[in-house]
Amino acid sequence: MPDWTYGNHLTLLENGEGYYPRVFDVIAHAQREVLLETFIWYDDKVGRGLQQALLQAARNGAEVHVLVDGWGSPDLGPELLGPLLEAGVQLRGYDPVRGVVQRRLNMFRRMHRKLVVVDERVAFIGGINYSIDHLADYGPMAKQDYAVEVTGPLVAQVRAFCSQSLQAPQPRRRPTTPPPRPRWHWHGRRERHVAPPPAAGTPAIAALVTRDNDAHTRDIELQYRAALRAARHRVVIANAYFFPGFTLLQALRRTARRGVRVDLILQGQPDMMIAGIAASLLYGHLLRAGVRVFEYCERPFHGKVAVVDDEWATVGSSNLDPLSLALNLEANVVARDAAFARHVRERMDALMAHSCKQVRLPPATRWSSVWAQVRSFVVFHFLRRFPAWLDRLPRRTPTIQSLDREGAPREGAACPR
């Protein structure tokens, strides 16, 4: 269950234009510590901007720890990493890959999180990587995406999580008064640990929810399902890669069938064609249950955002697809805050009004009806066995290794994860 914290302030950051200037400025002004995790870090103008911010933090005397995924960031070189290592920045790779074959095949169970914590006072959680394709001037393939800036008690929670991942030392902390205990709510036959809604105008109740391949395999999915069960009026889910398991798909359908307005924003111009095809296979199931589906058509959509009843919202790195729900390491912030949730919903409504087309069921014909039934049968039984079939994929013990100037793992510098 999530460890809810009280008294937070959350700010939604949209696209690279909103995210990079803010996160780079906070990092560059660090005085004690920077902890950063990312899936993708490219050697382009955005990657160099991150490099300069980290170098400035190191010149300020801050301890700087960076963890990058070995598959998502395979081409870091001496021009990017050399100055950082010389400045004392601790660079680590999550399960670094070696050779062309591994770079192509070792794509499962990756570290897909995007987290930053600075001086134990500010944290950033979201889906934005450090690459130029998150800026509008990249062109038609620039990505639409989101992150959250957090201040308040949740920062300590994110910091503790990152410290464990990065193997950074934990500082001594003075004891604090524990927050009020969340209430227990009854949902169907089972109780769920759900934070109570905050009073109007109070700081946010929020938690960091993560997914791993050990003790927290379904935590993010369970938060989505709990929010759907509690929904009374409106659900908006905007997700880049959408092919959830049977249980989550059924939760969406049941929510719509009991009269809740459920809107999905998915990719209309997918950066990976297979993702668009997979999502489209579910359209009939969703539309016939009353779910409204919108395709974002301006450029590739990369966000992982949801809001329920202008009370509950989540932003993070987790897609609603097999990789994120059953394989990768993910992190989302989940919040109960009316002002933040309303702002997220307003931004999603703006996308639907100005940048999306609504998907509708095509007129039925004899052959299309037969094909729809066959396709529904296949997809239904495929999803019934998701994610159990993913357990058949190859398993190995990932490692976190210190990186050299070439971005390669240093021999003997491994720590099993």
Within 8 A by CB and 6+ apart from 229, the residues are 187, 188, 192, 251, 255
Residue 133 backbone dihedrals phi, psi, to 5 degrees? -75, 5
Q: Which residues sit opposite 130 in a β-bridge?
A: 41
> Of all helices (H) and strands (E), which one includes residue 284?
helix 283-288
Residues recognised as catalytic? 112, 114, 119, 302, 304, 309
Quick check: helix, strand or coil at residue 29?
coil
Q: What ranges do the domains of the chain cover?
A: 5-173+404-416
Within 8 A by CB and 6+ apart from 37, the residues are 66, 67, 68, 111, 113, 114, 115, 116, 162, 165, 166
Answer yes or no: are the C-beta atoms of 89 and 56 closer than 8 Å: no
CA dist 298 to 132, 144, 284, Å? 17, 9, 24
pLDDT recorded at residue 89: 97
Question: How many residues are given for the chain?
Answer: 417
CA dist 388 to 325, 326, 327, Å? 12, 9, 11
Superfamily of domain 5-173+404-416: Endonuclease Chain A (3.30.870.10)
Nearest Cα neighbor of 171 from 206, 128, 220, 121 is 121
Q: What is the pTM of this model?
A: 0.87
Compute how many other C-beta atoms are within 10 angstroms of the C-beta atom of residue 176.
8
CA end-to-end span of the chain: 22
Within 8 A by CB and 6+ apart from 185, the residues are 191, 192, 194, 230
pLDDT along the chain (417 residues), means of 10: 90 98 98 98 97 98 96 90 96 79 64 97 98 95 97 97 72 42 37 50 86 92 96 97 90 97 93 78 91 95 97 97 92 96 98 96 59 57 58 72 84 50
pLDDT in tens, 324-367: 998 999 999 999 999 999 999 999 999 999 999 999 987 655 45
> Of all helices (H) and strands (E), which one includes residue 83?
helix 78-86
Compute how many other C-beta atoms are within 10 angstroms of the C-beta atom of residue 283.
18
pLDDT recorded at residue 214: 86
pLDDT recorded at residue 398: 81
d(CA 304, CA 334): 12
pLDDT recorded at residue 276: 77
d(CA 317, CA 113): 6
Answer yes or no: are the C-beta atoms of 152 and 204 closer than 8 Å: yes
Helices marked H in 297-411 — which ranges?
322-326, 338-354, 366-384
pLDDT recorded at residue 406: 82
Burial 194-208 (b: 16+ CB within 10 A, else e): bbebbeeeebbbbbb
d(CA 323, CA 321): 6
Largest CA distance in the chain: 71
d(CA 334, CA 313): 6
